[in-house]
Amino acid sequence: MGQKVDEDMIVLRLRIHEMRAIERNDEPPSHWMEWEKRCFSSYAADVCMAVGFLQTLLMSTRPSFAVALVLTFALSVTSSGFLLLCHLQGILGFILSGVQTLIKVIYQ
């Protein structure tokens, strides 16, 4: 019974989103590329299907495994962001040292 309710909630969310899109007459902007316009109509459905699949997968596993999976994802995103900031700091330091050298050459 519980799994059926969860699946129906996903379908209900998708139908509500589709009805709102029809009411607003959502159309992609004219400056978008053709492939973006083609994907626009099914984008919400694709996202709902992916989230529904993830929800079904996580709900059918043991709670400790689901928590471990979410924590692993959260830590990987955080560590990737930290590494990106470290690399940006190194690049910025390199650029600023070049600017400093250029200023020394100009004013000597």
- What pLDDT, in 10s, does the model give residues 33-88? 988 888 887 887 888 889 888 888 888 889 999 899 989 999 999 999 999 999 99
Question: Domain extents for the chain?
Answer: 1-60, 62-108
The whole-model pTM stands at 0.48
In the prediction, which pLDDT does 8 show?
67
What would the pLDDT profile of 47-58 be if each residue is shown by its tens digit? 888 988 888 888
**DSSP codes of every residue in the chain:** -HHHHHHHHHHHHHHHHHHHHHHHT----TTS-HHHHHHHHHHHHHHHHHHHHHHHHHHTS-HHHHHHHHHHHHHHHHHHHHHHHHHHHHHHHHHHHHHHHHHHHHT-
